Structure 1
Amino acid sequence: MVDRRRLGRTRLRSPHLRLGHRVPASPPEERKGHAVRLHLPVRGPGGRGADHAETRDDPGHAPRSAPSRPEAAAHDAPADRDEPAGGARPRDVRPVRRRVADRAVEGQAVVRLPVRLPDIRAHPGVRPRGEPGRGPGAGVDRGGAHHRRHPGRVANADRLTGTGAVAGAAAERAELADLAVVVVNYNAGDDLAGCLRSAWEAAGEPRLEVVVVDNASRDGSADRAVAANPGTTLIRNASNRGFGAAANQGILGTTAPFVLLLNPDAEILAGTLGGFVKVARDRPRAGAIGAMVRDPDGTIYPSARRVPGLVESLMHAFLSPFRIDNRWSRAYTMSDWDRHSERQVEWVSGSCVLLRREALDQVGMFDEGYYMYVEDVDLCTRLREAGWEVRFSPELEVTHVGGTATVGRKEMTLEHSRSIYRYFAKHRSNGWRVTLGPFVWTALRLRAAMVSWHRGER
């Protein structure tokens, strides 16, 4: 809060004006007029706090929408004022189209205040409301159209490489996005439309490119969801390539420095994508950041976990389907942690994870040998081995239904065991442990049979 009693004797370190300095009057014929007069103290919407954003901009930069020469207003300050600048009675802020003062204003103090785009709110009396989603005057509420959407596209790609059709098309985008949201879909029904809607509404400050990679769904969910969310790109696969391969397609089909993977049956509950990206920018060694995931009933799902050792893995695998609150499962899921604090972890769930493209360029994307499950554990392991951090942050919260297209299917339980064995063979079978391969595979097949029987899967 600015102390008005000290304004007359405080000097502002600014190239434009020092408070207390008299600006010499210019002859009437040389005067071009003056732009916005900023009154102090500055208050935000509703008069609460010094956070009124209509006349603020980033320090050291010209206003976002102002040209190099601001247009004059019709209200001139008296040339013969004999009081210090800033000592006069505050006047109303006067809009000059979308421009604000960027030089000394005769007889008034010009104060440059920092601004963050999420703080800006449209105000009909100060700045005209422009086209939806364009310019800093647009609303930035969760439901507003403030974010800039890339034009949607539909592409058919059974396989995508670095030189593939969709990857090449990404280079045609006129503007680079700040964040890419990639959703892999397979018969997700109406959940997919809700997922996309929540992503657009929770964008915050970043420019988004949203991509749906559809693995040959038969329920028409992809077409309905993309039609309901303009600006979303759809990549169609002629066959179900699995999660990891489809996620790689989406990553290759985008250009943003950060990629958010979001499951089609997940929706963003709290926080903004802009805030989540800021967490990543503030932690330059974070290669992957997981969000807080809640079940539909509101309970927190343990989406950030340890990578268990061999004994712990087997005990969890065999006991958790029947008694989840056993000591080995509790240690594996880090159940003593309330997940309301940020911390480094060993792996985070791919249901909602923010990935840094620079890290992916170094360690590679998802291993497409995992058709389903454990590909997120594998990627996080490779990131940590390369020196990148894997973190959990409650900055973003999502709700995740889980198992939309896989629940009750015996083959998917068996696929889970295959993926666990692949991880063991790839990361844990060095040295003498290679001899454990047949035992581990037999144990995993037995576990899959027990789980399918217990769940009544077909």
Structure 2
Amino acid sequence: MELSVIIVSYNVKHFLEQCLLSVFNALDGIEAEVIVVDNASGDGSCEMVRERFKPVKLIENTTNVGFSRANNQAITKAAGEFILLLNPDTVVQEDTFAMCLSFMRNHPDAGGLTVKMIDGKGKFLPESKRGFPSPVTAFFKIFGFASLFPRSKTFAWYYLGHLDKNSTHEIEVLPGAFMFLRAKALREVGLLDEQFFMYGEDIDLSYRILKGGYKNYYYPECQIIHYKGESTKKGSLNYVLVFYRAMILFTRKHINSRGAGLLVGIINLAIYFRAFLSLLHRLAKRLWLPLLDLALIIAGVVLLVPWWEQQRFQMQHVYPREYAGFLLSLYVAVWMLSLWLGGAYDRPRKTHAPTRSIVLGTLAILVIYSMLPAGMRFSRAIILITGAWSLATTQLVRYLMVWISPSSFATSLAAKRIAVLGNSNEVERVSKILNLTGISYKLVVSLTPDKLTGDNGYLNHERLAELVRVNGVNEIIFCTQGISMGAIVDAMLYLSPQGISYKIATHEGSSIIGSNSVEDQGELYTLDFKALGSPSVKRAKRLFDLFSAAAVIITWPVNVFFIRKPFRVMVEALSVLVGLKTWVGYGAASPEALSALPKIKPSVFPYIPVKYREKNSTRELNLYYARNYSVSLDLQILIRNLYRGING
């Protein structure tokens, strides 16, 4: 057997699907096997592999054993002359494997090979070629000198920045995303070191390959897309800790004691420094908008209350400050709570979430106001004026954010202007997926591949660039039916300076995948889009459970005469109230089937409409409930089941 392709996957179902489709296209004419090791994913990855990719040898772990051990499980079973360790968040070209096999056979000194990697916007990923983290190299990498001087042999040795990215070179470190290895060399130097759980194992193995007398090569004649950040979140605090601790482990293992001690000291310092910066960054990213809204609302209260007193009474400090201060603080809290419940801080941002939230919050405040004692009801006008101020200022902030960064909004004034390249059937399928996601977009142009493809089978880059310019396109979706992956990669590289977003829709796939930057998680449009996956919908469901459970408990003395098993109802209502259960949820299904759905609490009543019981499977009904959830749907099911009684 020529080649064994090994993919370790963890909760990246749709990316794995696209990766496998590209892998099998690239294996045409090659005697090969594909082994997928799943590290206990909870998103239905294994079920997808079994259903869609029968030839794949699937290893299912019951726990996440880490990248190194999972790869070793597959390597021990691999029969290929060459072994490729491939990340699931990659897409390979049709000739990638054939070219790599040819190179390795023409270079018998090669123990390992990697290729040129680009991100989802067509930009070169510098980790395609790397050097070992010596004490000095690690220092320059950790403290940002490599980024400041990206072409320096001294400062950017970690990324070998002095080497031409478009030429073949001997390098030191093969990236874990694409490690094309000679099986003979791997047997001689040993498998991946399982002390490295997630990071550093590629550096360690690359080092041992060189120590074993082989060479590692960077071969840019092949390019792959790497949606960096899918299996792990690169900017997270956990990433900082795990990555740099892996560097410490490598240093202690391979570098002399004096150098190791110095580097360990540097990296330990860097761990706490970078962890602190990461924590600050995450807090600032999460809290800056709520804090800005809070400041604007408080500013409105501080400015408008004295102004209104002056307008109405021609003097200030009319309202008792001890009561007014308490009530105004309560009003501000209600507006902030309404913004949070209304999804104003969810990602992706929603342009008009503040309008709906502030209006509902103002109505809630007016209801509270009407129930207050007469001595505490000072002025409805203040509520309305400050509510209008809050709405105007928070909404203005969103408009400014749309103007500055339209891509961060799901439904914005600046809707995505999308071009789809594919035949009519593929364009229709892509449009269906886009409509299901609920994003705001305008399909400005759709073209069949033959209108843009030259005699060489590749896309005419000049014509494509003109199409983008004339139509103001900011996102291109490539359909792989009729367009080779090589043509797609070349087009992305050519257009990368224009800052366009790209997505790839594989033939008969259920998703459209892309990534807007090397640091972001990939963006996913999928037919499995589910309403229950939205944070705002989950909050609405929980609020419904809270209020309805409270209502059931309060009215229980009356309802005890009308519902069956009233004591069981009371027990279930208490369980819902404290958050142990939800009133309505999925029907009975296998753990794997449920793992592919948004996670909710165990339910008191399953969603099984009577008219669909015989016609539809539980799986279809669960999927329908997840996709089409609404509070009114839960209310209907709750009322119907309460007065029929709880089975059990």
Using structure 1 for the length normalisation, give the TM-score: 0.58
Is 1:297 matched up with 2:121?
yes
Is 1:313 matched up with 2:138?
yes
Q: Secondary structure at the match of 1:413?
A: helix
Alignment of 1:400-415 (within 5 A): 400-407=226-233, 408-415=235-242
2:236 & 2:24 partners in 1: Cα distance? 32
Alignment of 1:410-421 (within 5 A): 410-421=237-248
The question of whether the paired residues in 2 share the 8 Å contact of 1:417 and 1:448 is answered with no
Q: How big is each residue's C-alpha offset from its partner over 1:114-165, in whole Å with a ceiling of 9 and x where there is no partner?
A: xxxxxxxxxxxxxxxxxxxxxxxxxxxxxxxxxxxxxxxxxxxxxxxxxxxx
Alignment of 1:146-157 (within 5 A): none
Aligned-partner residue type, residue 136 of structure 2: V
Alignment of 1:251-266 (within 5 A): 251-266=75-90
Instruction: Give the direction of change, closer, same or farther, for the CA distance of 1:320–1:341 in structure 2 (3 Å limit).
Output: same
Instruction: Give the direction of change, closer, same or farther, for the CA distance of 1:387–1:215 in structure 2 (3 Å limit).
Output: same
Q: Give the C-alpha shift of residue 325 in structure 1.
A: 4.5
Match of 1:235 in 2: 59
Match of 1:222 in 2: 46
Q: Structure 1 regions of 5+ residues with no counterpart?
A: 1-176
Aligned-partner residue type, residue 349 of structure 1: P
The question of whether the paired residues in 1 share the 8 Å contact of 2:114 and 2:179 is answered with yes
> Which of 181, 184, 189 pairs up with 1:355?
181
Q: How big is each residue's C-alpha offset from its partner over 1:248-298, in whole Å with a ceiling of 9 and x where there is no partner?
A: 111112111111111001010353312211111111121110111111111
Q: Secondary structure at the match of 1:297?
A: coil
> What RMSD, in angstroms, separates the aligned Cα atoms of the two structures?
2.3
The question of whether the paired residues in 1 share the 8 Å contact of 2:13 and 2:43 is answered with yes
Aligned-partner residue type, residue 335 of structure 1: G
Q: Give the C-alpha shift of residue 434 in structure 1.
A: 4.9
Alignment of 1:120-135 (within 5 A): none
Is 1:276 matched up with 2:276?
no
Q: Give the C-alpha shift of residue 437 in structure 1.
A: 6.4
Is 1:247 matched up with 2:71?
yes
2:278 & 2:102 partners in 1: Cα distance? 42
Alignment of 1:191-210 (within 5 A): 191-210=15-34
The question of whether the paired residues in 2 share the 8 Å contact of 1:413 and 1:448 is answered with yes
Q: How big is each residue's C-alpha offset from its partner over 1:438-457, in whole Å with a ceiling of 9 and x where there is no partner?
A: 62353232244145235417
Aligned-partner residue type, residue 217 of structure 2: R
Q: How big is each residue's C-alpha offset from its partner over 1:169-198, in whole Å with a ceiling of 9 and x where there is no partner?
A: xxxxxxxx2100000000013000110110
Q: Secondary structure at the match of 1:347?
A: coil
The question of whether the paired residues in 1 share the 8 Å contact of 2:146 and 2:155 is answered with no
The question of whether the paired residues in 2 share the 8 Å contact of 1:271 and 1:397 is answered with no
Aligned-partner residue type, residue 272 of structure 1: T
The question of whether the paired residues in 2 share the 8 Å contact of 1:276 and 1:395 is answered with no
Using structure 2 for the length normalisation, give the TM-score: 0.41
Is 1:190 matched up with 2:17?
no
The question of whether the paired residues in 2 share the 8 Å contact of 1:192 and 1:264 is answered with yes
The question of whether the paired residues in 1 share the 8 Å contact of 2:146 and 2:158 is answered with no
After TM superposition, the runs of 4+ consecutive aligned structure 1 residues lying more than 4 A away are 320-329
Match of 2:224 in 1: 398
Q: How big is each residue's C-alpha offset from its partner over 1:391-410, in whole Å with a ceiling of 9 and x where there is no partner?
A: 11124321001111311542
Greater percentage in helix:
2
2:214 & 2:172 partners in 1: Cα distance? 11
Instruction: Give the direction of change, closer, same or farther, for the CA distance of 1:209–1:443 in structure 2 (3 Å limit).
Output: same
Aligned-partner residue type, residue 446 of structure 1: Y
Match of 1:96 in 2: none
Instruction: Give the direction of change, closer, same or farther, for the CA distance of 1:340–1:204 in structure 2 (3 Å limit).
Output: farther
Q: Percent identity among equivalent residues?
A: 31
2:92 & 2:240 partners in 1: Cα distance? 27
Instruction: Give the direction of change, closer, same or farther, for the CA distance of 1:319–1:391 in structure 2 (3 Å limit).
Output: same
Match of 1:453 in 2: 279
Instruction: Give the direction of change, closer, same or farther, for the CA distance of 1:443–1:181 in structure 2 (3 Å limit).
Output: same
1:255 & 1:359 partners in 2: Cα distance? 14
1:178 & 1:335 partners in 2: Cα distance? 33
